[in-house]
């Protein structure tokens, strides 16, 4: 593991423990070159996943699944909301685990988006609407207003 401070190749593990959600191992390391300490997270990857995306011209393209990209998207939707970071991590880890255990090596970006929408719906209605506004590509304020109305009605029904 390369030191983020000096770039030295070797580091020594000082402490290892699972994260709260159990989806990763947190390792505290010390660089043998400059003695700086830093933390790494190791996640289990069950299989290589490919995301199938639609291009604007009717074609498709494949790209490797990127957990950090998924985490960024959810983090943007939940920004400035009273949601603990561990809950966001659990949501993202749960989605990744579902994708890896479904038995397919390819998944559509649409399916991932729906999984995020389902997760955010139960987590925070504002984050759900934020994500939906980008994911569903609302073209007018009316689209946004209609969607927000359906969320409000669903909240009252529960």
Residue 153 is predicted with a pLDDT of 64
Threshold 0.75, pTM exceeds: no
pLDDT band at 156 (very low <50, low <70, confident <90, very high): low
Contacts for 111-120: CB closer than 8 Å, 24+ residues apart: 112/51, 112/70, 116/70, 116/73, 116/74, 116/77, 116/91, 119/74, 119/91, 119/94, 119/95, 120/74, 120/77, 120/78, 120/91
Q: Which range among 28-32, 101-105, 123-127 shows the weakest confidence by mean pLDDT? A: 101-105
Instruction: Report the pLDDT averaged over residues 133-154.
Output: 79
Instruction: Report the pLDDT averaged over residues 34-47.
Output: 86
């Amino acid at each position: 593991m390369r030191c983020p401070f000096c770039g030295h190749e070797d580091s020594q593990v000082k402490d290892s423990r699972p994260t709260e959600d159990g989806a990763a191992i947190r390792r505290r390391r010390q660089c043998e070159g400059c003695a700086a300490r830093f933390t790494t997270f190791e996640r289990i990857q069950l299989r290589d996943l490919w995301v199938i995306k639609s291009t604007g011209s009717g074609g498709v393209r494949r790209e490797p699944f990127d957990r950090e990209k998924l985490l960024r998207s959810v983090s943007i939707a939940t920004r400035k909301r009273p949601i603990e970071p561990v809950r966001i991590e659990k949501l993202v880890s749960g989605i990744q685990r579902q994708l890896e255990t479904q038995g397919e090596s390819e998944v559509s970006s649409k399916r991932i988006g729906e999984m995020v929408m389902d997760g955010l719906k139960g987590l925070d209605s504002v984050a759900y609407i934020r994500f939906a506004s980008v994911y569903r590509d609302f073209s007018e304020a009316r689209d946004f207003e209609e969607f927000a109305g359906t969320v409000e009605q669903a909240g009252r029904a529960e």
